[in-house]
């Protein structure tokens, strides 16, 4: 394929449209060559339908594999969205309705839990200012002013979780769930809230020869609570749309081929019948 190699090599002349040219070259070299071969043997119309059926069927299978493994064209990844930062009494000052009954119905997350580590890492971005932007860039204005300057100024004293249960559908008060091994299948999401509670750290004094002590919270300072809501994202959503669209095109192409075969059989039967 010397001509194909020269064509791909020539795409480096303009990096601003390189991606568009690569896609156009791929369409012309791969599906285009198959269509050209089929069109010369079966005709332009039938060759196009066969090519579209093969391409859409292959895209459907590829999209299903992407959906199963979460690869390929990805949507937005799951993230923690901040709702508010409350200083002092959480139940008295919280504007989020789900937090007004805190801590009733909330589960204390044990230290060392992976979900606590992820939520704590997300809360650190809201408790301290963002890093200095690169040259020519500006940081967006935070939704809530960060109460601390650096992560060493505070100590996490606990994390609480509420909700987050996923299920297929609901019958009255009963939630139908489906789990195969460690894979959990769901359609509906219950809102998942997380509260990270921190307190200002005591100043540490390190004596010569003494072991380093862990930072301790200053109990005389008010507790600061970071209320966050889990955004489940849309990681597999683009692949679902690709699979549905490809399946529809594949069904239409197969139906056209089926109707063509029935018409050919009908005409052959009429030609073979006596006058």
Instruction: Give the tens place of pLDDT for each residue, 48-95.
Output: 999 999 999 999 999 999 998 888 889 898 899 999 999 998 988 888
Q: Where are the domains of the chain?
A: 2-72+237-272, 79-133+140-231
> Strand, coil or helix: what is 191?
coil
Which of 159, 85, 150, 78 lies closest to 115 in space, CA to CA? 159
Q: Which residues of the chain have pLDDT under 70?
A: 1-16, 132-140, 168-170, 172-178, 180-188, 205-213, 275
**pLDDT of 185:** 67
Which of 117, 146, 114, 118 lies closest to 130 in space, CA to CA? 146
How many CB atoms are closer than 10 A to CB 228? 22
pTM over 0.85: no
Quick one: tokens of 58?
A: 């292959």
**Cis amide bond preceding 103, omega within 30:** yes
Rounded CA gap, 252 and 247, in Å?
Answer: 9
Decide: residue 196, CB within 10 A, 0-12 exposed, 13-18 middle, 19+ buried. buried
Query: What Rg, from alpha-carbon coordinates, does the chain have?
Result: 30
């Amino acid at each position: 394929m010397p001509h194909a190699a020269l064509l791909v090599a020539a795409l480096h002349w303009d990096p601003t449209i390189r991606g568009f040219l690569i896609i156009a070259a791929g369409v012309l070299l791969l599906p285009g060559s198959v269509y050209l071969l089929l069109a010369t043997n079966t005709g332009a119309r039938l060759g196009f339908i066969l090519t579209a059926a093969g391409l859409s069927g292959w895209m459907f299978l590829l999209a299903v594999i992407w959906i199963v493994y979460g690869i390929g064209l990805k949507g937005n990844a799951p993230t923690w969205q901040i709702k508010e930062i409350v200083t002092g009494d959480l139940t008295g000052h919280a504007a989020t309705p789900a937090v007004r009954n805190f801590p009733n119905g909330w589960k204390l997350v044990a230290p060392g839990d992976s979900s606590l580590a992820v939520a704590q890492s997300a809360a650190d971005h809201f408790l301290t200012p963002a890093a200095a932007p690169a040259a020519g860039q500006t940081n967006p204005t935070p939704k809530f002013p960060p109460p601390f300057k650096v992560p060493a100024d505070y100590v996490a004293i606990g994390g609480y979780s509420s909700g987050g249960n996923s299920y297929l559908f609901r019958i009255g008060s009963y939630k139908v769930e489906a789990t195969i091994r460690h894979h959990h299948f769901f359609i509906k999401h219950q809102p998942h809230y997380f509260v990270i509670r921190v307190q200002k750290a005591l100043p540490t004094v390190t004596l010569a020869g003494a072991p380093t002590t862990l930072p301790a919270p200053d109990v005389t300072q008010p507790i600061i609570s970071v209320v966050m809501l889990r955004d489940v994202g849309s990681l597999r959503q683009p692949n679902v749309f690709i699979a549905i669209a490809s399946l529809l095109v594949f069904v239409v192409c197969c139906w056209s081929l089926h109707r063509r075969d029935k018409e050919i059989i009908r005409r052959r039967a009429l030609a073979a019948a006596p006058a």
